[in-house]
Amino acid sequence: QVVIEQAAATPEVPAHDIRITSRDRVIYPGEGLTKGQLADYYAAASAIILPWLANRPVSLVRCPQGRAKQCFFQKHDAGSFGDHVHHVEIREKDGSTEPYLYIDDANGLLACVQMGTIEFHGWGSLVSDVEKADRMVFDLDPDEGLDFGVVKKAAEDLKQHLAEIGLTSWPMLSGGKGVHVVVPLIPRAEWPAVRSFAERFARALSEAEPERFTANLKKVQRKGKIFIDYLRNQRGATAVLPYTARAREGAAVAAPVTWTELRDIDTAQAFSIRDIDTLVERSNSRALAGWGTADQALPDV
């Protein structure tokens, strides 16, 4: 087992009141990273993650025994997370309502980590009005074996096409294989309109360049191509949130980057939870300061 060297000085982490149990439990066996280290990551990252995570319905990827053991996706509040994790009743298709999880502070974030959460996924809308999207995400999913350079080129092209219709976008390394192109929105349009827009946009690209892109979820259609996953943009769908740790080998995190930086990055796993100091420093840098924010709405179509 890998022994992680302790930093000379204990890093200062923002205050939270959550007691993390089993700090020595290994969560990332390949890296020898423990639950305590993951909790320290989230505590130190709370100020940069909460602007994206707070006050929107979230789904959790929980792996209580570590990422290599059983993990599960949890979207409903089971009532077992304590007072810092809240729930919002959301109407289901059948007219009933279900309690969805949300958090609004570092205590809520750490309470989820205490319960074995590694990943945080969020709706593209806030609990204050779940029907109105405050972002679109184009999740670029490359076929197996495709070079990351191809993904970058695709992301750049989406950026250009979005700019042509007046929309500013930002890239995020997923921490897995792809890049998410994030388009912030003034929460005005409701999900049917947003989904329709995202689908037409993805289909227009795949029809223009069918050898590069597909807008079809089916894996057989993806051979050598990139799937432009527009389905993140429908009511109830989630996307992984900025600065979330991934439950994958390497302990990579979903990392916002600038378009300029992206040109020199050659993997979607460029940052890991061990890069916490860099991530915090970067997020306060001038280049990343405005990442993911813009006063813009979908064009009328």
The footprint of ligand ATP (CB under 6 A) covers: 73, 121, 139, 141, 174, 176-178, 229, 232, 238-240, 268
Per DSSP, which regions of the chain are E strands?
A: 26-28, 33-34, 58-62, 72-74, 86-91, 97-102, 117-122, 135-142, 170-173, 179-184, 213-214, 226-229, 239-240, 255-256
> Shortest distance, CB of residue 230 to ligand ATP, whole angstroms?
11
Comparing CB distances to Mn ion, the nearer of 49 and 173 is 173
> Shortest distance, CB of residue 67 to ligand ATP, whole angstroms?
14
Helical H runs in 176-275?
191-208, 259-262
- The angle formed by the CA atoms of residues 264, 268 and 270, to the nearest 5 degrees, is 65
Q: Of 110-139, which residues contact Mn ion (CB under 5 A)?
A: 139
Comparing CB distances to ligand ATP, the nearer of 107 and 238 is 238
Residue nearest to Mn ion (CB): 229
The listed partner (Mn ion, ligand ATP, none) that binds 40, CB under 5 to 8 Å by sort, is none
Indicate the pairing of strand 179-184 with strand 97-102: unpaired
Comparing CB distances to ligand ATP, the nearer of 20 and 175 is 175
> Shortest distance, CB of residue 24 to ligand ATP, whole angstroms?
28
Contact 177, 141 (CB under 8 A): yes
Contact 76, 101 (CB under 8 A): yes
Q: Of 160-179, which residues contact Mn ion (CB under 5 A)?
A: 178
> Shortest distance, CB of residue 4 to ligand ATP, whole angstroms?
25
Q: 3-state class of 27 per DSSP?
A: strand
> Shortest distance, CB of residue 256 to Mn ion, whole angstroms?
15
The listed partner (ligand ATP, Mn ion, none) that binds 142, CB under 5 to 8 Å by sort, is none
Comparing CB distances to Mn ion, the nearer of 119 and 139 is 139
Comparing CB distances to Mn ion, the nearer of 119 and 141 is 141
Q: State the greatest distance between any 2 C-alpha atoms of the chain, in Å, as a whole number.
A: 57
What does the binding site for Mn ion look like in residue numbers (CB under 5 A)? Answer: 139, 141, 178, 229
